[in-house]
Structure 1
Amino acid sequence: MKNRNIIKIASIYIGTVIGAGFASGQEIMEFFTKYGIWGFYGIGIASVLFGLIGSLILLKVHKLRLTSFEDLLQVTMGARLGKSIKSILFLLLLSGYCVMLAGSGALFQEQFELSKTLGIWSMTLVCFATFVFSISGLAFLNTMIVPLLLIGILAIGSIVTFQNDFTMSNQAGMIFSNMTGNWLTSSLLYVSYNSIGAIAVLSSLLPLIKNKRTAVGSGIIGGIGLGLLAGFLLLPTLIFYTDINGVEIPMMAIATRLGGNIKLGYGILLWLAMLTTAVSNGFVFIEGIKDKLGIGPIWTALLFCIAAIPLANFGFKSLVHTLYPLFGYIGIFIVLIMLFQSFVYRAE
């Protein structure tokens, strides 16, 4: 049971982080690929930090018996600041959920040649079915999907690498001239940017954290899994950098080169990655408001799912360009405060 819980928590952790930006290859291109081979060092640092952050948060949840993100905010930031930041973060979670719905619509329309509305409603229905079973549904969905994502991304990364004899674009004459800053700074920003949603989810997993070993093991395995996924996305994006630089969905462009079936398969993987992030964000949001609404968890989930659909219709690009930069910097600020509190004010 303990080992199963480690896998469940690690899967939820990984599933929360690997949304549309990660699985599409766009985040990897932005934060790591443009630094060439140095991107591997950046991913190594990011993997260690993800493992450290996950372990610290899960240990704090276990020690203090925290049951929600609101509890974690009050412990780390105090009642007043915690309440103010909670409102901002819940808006972040709602926007993250809507971005994934919009991404599903865009994927159905552009890659599957189906209706955008069908894409939005398909994800909405799966999310609602998961929310009905609360934390059990969240754990089950991620435990099923995350291994598929690992297998699929590792397989495509390996195929591309071996087919091209490990020849990278920069070794073939490409100069990574658009480099700004350095790979270490980029790695730190990437972890901070992506940790806030994961922290919100991890702080709600007390029923699965049976002891300190479960907390630490889940964080470490989650960090290793994220590092592996990022590394096997970095390899193909380095190899085809000259051809995919500036493409909106780099990994889809690479999968297209490998044939129609692989393109379809990766499209499904990308949709599943969006789904795990949508479910995680929606789960925390619903857990935070269900008691205040007083209408029961299932009705709260239904209301949340229906209310989010009009927001998702604003479009994937519009939501990403408007909301992600703003909440990204807010997320960095909050993560830094939490880490500072974890080191300086240790729970007794």
Structure 2
Amino acid sequence: MSKKDSVSIIGIATTYVGTVIGAGYASGQEILQYFLYFREHTLTIVLITALLFFVFGYIPAWLANHFATKDYLQAINPIAYSHNAILHKFFLRFCDVFITLSLFGTLVIMLAGAGTTFEEKFHLPMFVGALFVCILLMVNTYIGLNMVVKVMEILIPYMFLGVAVVGIYSLWNPTMASSEEIANASINNSDLIWHWSMSGVLYVAFNFQLALAVLCPLGCRANTKTIFWGILLGAIMLGGCAGFLCWVFNAHITVIGTQRLPMIVLANNISPLIGALYAVVLFFGLYSTAITCFYGSVERFAKLHILRRTSSLLVISLTAIMGFFASLLGFKDLISIVYPLLGYGGIVIMCLILYTYYQVRRKDTYAR
């Protein structure tokens, strides 16, 4: 098997989905804040999200393949490496800082999600769940990217199965409520998302940044056909899962609209045992995102001048310690504040990626 064929379509799709889906999907918190809060526009937001997940998953991976680089900064902004213009350098630094903040910020939220899950379901102190995940992340990241992909391929099918079981049962047993109660139900939201038209864009804008850390190395190792179908499959899975959860939540909106972990609430409605099993599924979800964010954060922190000559184990340990203490701020509040802010910066990076892709395609056309 050649180096370009060392990654499968399924491997790319599950890694992409695993990076994005995380605790926000599996817990349902992101679904409430980004999709269901804008009720009459929910389906449109889901379709926009699926389309943008494909576009901004495929283009960075294609650019990484085209330039034969694993470095996502070089893939999405290669012009900055060949020119000394101040503007190009500014965009390079902006992307570097913002993507690193997105990776680390999401890592913190995943750790907070682990703490919240352990606290609500198992009645353990919040720091226990966060600490447990930190230890696992350190071990997996020290082994390398191949372990990250293998973990994704194992965890994602189980997570989808858990979401499907709880979701289908919940659809068959909707909460009895009047149309007035449903219409007036309170739903978690973020004050930083001002209009429904921005919701899907912002959702992809912060999420795709997380995937860059693994999609570019994978894109460098796969052929373009595998990249295309892998990213397309991943985008369909992400859009389909979001739409399905919106359908499920709408049937129980009066009960779960303001919950921190709405999917856990629905699982507990089936039985305490199912609730406990779904807590494990939720753990898989947050871990699948946490491992790629942790891997990406370590890769970026290792290039800092102060850490460049230190051992990889030290960088891994420092990243885990910082993430652990930051996660104690709380899950729901972090999602409503951190994600939208990262999304607005992500829109700038999206525009830069489109510009880079356009320039590369135009140059290739003229070269023919």
Is the TM-score greater than 0.5? yes
Cα distance in 1, alignment partners of residues 76 and 257 from structure 2? 39
Moved more, 103-112 or 295-304: 295-304
Q: Which amino acid aligns with 2:357?
A: S
Cα distance in 1, alignment partners of residues 336 and 49 from structure 2? 24
Q: Which amino acid aligns with 1:331?
A: G
Cα distance in 1, alignment partners of residues 194 and 109 from structure 2? 28
Contact 2:77 2:353 in 1 (8 A): no
Contact 2:111 2:290 in 1 (8 A): yes
Cα distance in 1, alignment partners of residues 115 and 185 from structure 2? 35
Structure 2 residues not aligned, in runs of 5+: 81-87, 188-192
1:111 counterpart SS class: helix
1:304 Cα offset (Å): 2.1
Contact 1:3 1:214 in 2 (8 A): no
Alignment of 1:294-309 (within 5 A): 294-309=309-324
Partner of 1:120: 130
Partner of 2:85: none
Deviations 1:107-142 (A, max 9, x none): 211221123232112101111111012111110111
Q: 1:235 aligns with which of 222, 226, 247?
A: 247
Across the aligned residues of Structure 1 and Structure 2, the Cα RMSD in angstroms comes to 2.9
Partner of 1:221: 233
Alignment of 1:7-18 (within 5 A): 7-18=10-21
Alignment of 1:7-46 (within 5 A): 7-36=10-39, 38-46=41-49
Cα distance in 2, alignment partners of residues 19 and 271 from structure 1? 9
Contact 1:135 1:205 in 2 (8 A): no
Q: 2:205 aligns with which of 178, 182, 192?
A: 192
Contact 1:107 1:119 in 2 (8 A): yes
1:174 counterpart SS class: helix
Cα distance in 1, alignment partners of residues 47 and 176 from structure 2? 19
Alignment of 1:154-233 (within 5 A): 154-164=164-174, 174-175=182-183, 185-206=198-219, 209-233=221-245
Q: Which amino acid aligns with 1:316?
A: F
Q: Which amino acid aligns with 2:313?
A: I
1:177 Cα offset (Å): 8.6
Partner of 1:254: 266
Structure 1 residues not aligned, in runs of 5+: none
| Structure 1 residues 197 and 169, CA gap change in structure 2 (3 angstroms) | farther
Cα distance in 2, alignment partners of residues 232 and 263 from structure 1? 19
1:271 counterpart SS class: helix
1:205 counterpart SS class: helix
Alignment of 1:19-98 (within 5 A): 19-36=22-39, 38-75=41-78, 78-98=88-108
Contact 1:59 1:215 in 2 (8 A): yes
Deviations 1:176-199 (A, max 9, x none): 798998755433332223222223
TM normalised by structure 1 equals: 0.87
TM normalised by structure 2 equals: 0.83
Number of residue-to-residue matches in the alignment: 345
Contact 1:168 1:238 in 2 (8 A): no
Q: Which amino acid aligns with 1:249?
A: L
Report sequence identity in percent. Answer: 26
Moved more, 297-306 or 235-244: 297-306
